Amino acid sequence: MKACLKIIFLLITALLLTGCSDPVRQQTELRAELESYADEKIVISGLQDKDFEISVAELMEFDTVTKSAASNTADGQQVKVKITGPLLNTFLQKYGKSQRDFSVVRFSARDKYSIAVVSDILANRDIILGFMDKGKALIGEDRPVRVVIPEERAMYWVRMLNRIDFETGESARLAEKIIFLETASEYLPQEDYEYYERPDKVIKTRDLIGKYADINDTAIKNVFMVAADGLKKNETRANFLDGYLKITGSDIPKFLSPDLPQGMHVRDLLSISYGTTAFFSAAQALNVFPLLSVGEEMGFAFTDLLKQIGTTKAVSYRFTPTDGQSVLLSISETANAGICMGSDGAVSFVSGSPANKTVNKLLSIEVIE
């Protein structure tokens, strides 16, 4: 603790503003504030055989950086910080690791908020474990540590940090089956959900997975979501299965849960990957992909869907509508295929081949190897 206090003193001296009327008193007050949460613990999982804890005082003993950063929250508010703390990579060096060694690092807070930082960010961004902001102790709702990732969205800036999970190996798997959310939701129980004082309809994610995927596959640890604006987020299987998908009103499809902080909700979902099953929104695809004429409707290319989802190597594809009368087409027969969505919200597939086969009220596409 003495070493930690010495480091705190040096930081205080370096960060104090000039021209203070009583710098000694300010040093004393700041030191007291930092000491008030220096003993708080953060659980570390995935670095050693067993989970262990590290105190904020121990974090303070690492070499630190001070960086300014700004980002916007989901509701459009700008957050600005001048954060001080060790880099995550500096912390990992003690254990012979670096950020690039992990496919995912999940930061969790005491208010149940959590976010998984994916490999692209781990490979290209500094991650700061901050214990001071603007030369002052963190405010109460940020303590004991605030994670800041400059140049990334504020959703990654986790306050009240109490756990870090380092994960390797698991990433979104190649899809063997694609389910269209607009079609699937029609055949699931719908509930009223009060959303910003407006009643909308939701389906339970547990019902969705239970009907169209293997809900008992406990090997699945994370569920991967991609939004129309390019946001990539993964959620723990447990959190996802306890949530809902909002299917009416604004921002749909939207993953949400009354038990999770707002920052963990994901709006305008384009796709969800659960094991080898992918759930896809045709409505959002029309906002993302280049449009083309599909019969008498506007749609998007089947190949754009495959690129977005990522599928295993196929010889052919099975297209199944709600009536169960499947159509099996080879790769060559789908070369110019498209998917459209009618004014009634029904998803359709048009092969574009000489036979010009059409599948109305499309529910699923299966990869045939």
Q: Verify that 148 and 193 share a domain, yes or no.
A: no
d(CA 329, CA 311): 16
Domain hosting residue 37, numbered range? 2-167
What integer pLDDT is reported at residue 12 of this predicted model?
54
Going by C-alpha positions, the residue among 55, 139, 140, 44 that lies closest to residue 92 is 44
What integer pLDDT is reported at residue 119 of this predicted model?
86
d(CA 290, CA 98): 39
What integer pLDDT is reported at residue 18 of this predicted model?
44
d(CA 194, CA 246): 10
Q: How does DSSP classify residue 139? A: P
Q: Verify that 237 and 113 share a domain, yes or no.
A: no
Phi, psi of 280 (to 5 degrees): -135, 140
d(CA 202, CA 193): 6
What integer pLDDT is reported at residue 10 of this predicted model?
53
Residue 203 covered by a domain: yes
Residue 341 covered by a domain: yes
What integer pLDDT is reported at residue 365 of this predicted model?
96
Residue with tokens 């954060």: 83
Residue 308 covered by a domain: yes
Phi, psi of 76 (to 5 degrees): 90, 0
> Which of 145, 167, 189 is the last residue in one of the domains?
167
How many C-beta atoms surround the C-beta of residue 195 within 10 A?
Answer: 17
For 70, 114, 251, the CA distances from 77, given in Å and listed in that order, are 10, 20, 18
User: What is the chain's length?
Assistant: 369
Residue 36 covered by a domain: yes
* Dihedral sign for Cα atoms in the order 149, 130, 65, 68: positive
Residue 172 covered by a domain: no
Residue 344 covered by a domain: yes
Are 182 and 269 contacting, i.e. CB atoms less than 8 angstroms apart? Answer: no
Going by C-alpha positions, the residue among 172, 176, 184 that lies closest to residue 282 is 184
Q: Verify that 16 and 156 share a domain, yes or no.
A: yes
Amino acid occupying residue 181: L
Q: Tell me if residue 283 falls in helix, strand or coil.
A: helix
Peptide bond into 253 cis (omega under 30): yes
Q: Verify that 6 and 80 share a domain, yes or no.
A: yes
For 42, 177, 329, 365, the CA distances from 368, given in Å and listed in that order, are 47, 9, 10, 10
Q: Verify that 293 and 250 share a domain, yes or no.
A: yes
Specify the DSSP element, H or E, that contains 296. none
What integer pLDDT is reported at residue 369 of this predicted model?
79
The CATH number that applies at residue 146 is 3.90.420.10
Q: Are strands 277-280 and 292-294 parallel, antiparallel or unpaired?
A: unpaired
Q: Verify that 125 and 182 share a domain, yes or no.
A: no
Residue 286 covered by a domain: yes
* CA 64 to chain CA centroid, nearest Å: 28
pTM comes to 0.78
Q: Verify that 244 and 340 share a domain, yes or no.
A: yes
What integer pLDDT is reported at residue 171 of this predicted model?
65
Q: Verify that 39 and 156 share a domain, yes or no.
A: yes
Q: How does DSSP classify residue 295? A: T
Q: Verify that 205 and 122 share a domain, yes or no.
A: no
Q: Tell me if residue 26 falls in helix, strand or coil.
A: helix
Averaged over successive runs of 10 residues, the pLDDT of the chain (369 residues) comes to 52 50 67 88 93 94 94 79 96 95 91 88 95 91 95 91 85 86 96 85 97 92 91 89 95 93 91 95 95 81 90 87 93 88 89 80 93
Are 225 and 179 contacting, i.e. CB atoms less than 8 angstroms apart? Answer: no
For 126, 161, 252, the CA distances from 88, given in Å and listed in that order, are 8, 13, 35
The number of folded domains in the chain is 2
> Which of 129, 147, 167 is the last residue in one of the domains?
167
Q: Verify that 152 and 229 share a domain, yes or no.
A: no
> Which of 167, 188, 205 is the last residue in one of the domains?
167
Q: Verify that 112 and 194 share a domain, yes or no.
A: no
Residue 285 covered by a domain: yes
Going by C-alpha positions, the residue among 144, 125, 135 that lies closest to residue 58 is 144
Q: Verify that 317 and 255 share a domain, yes or no.
A: yes
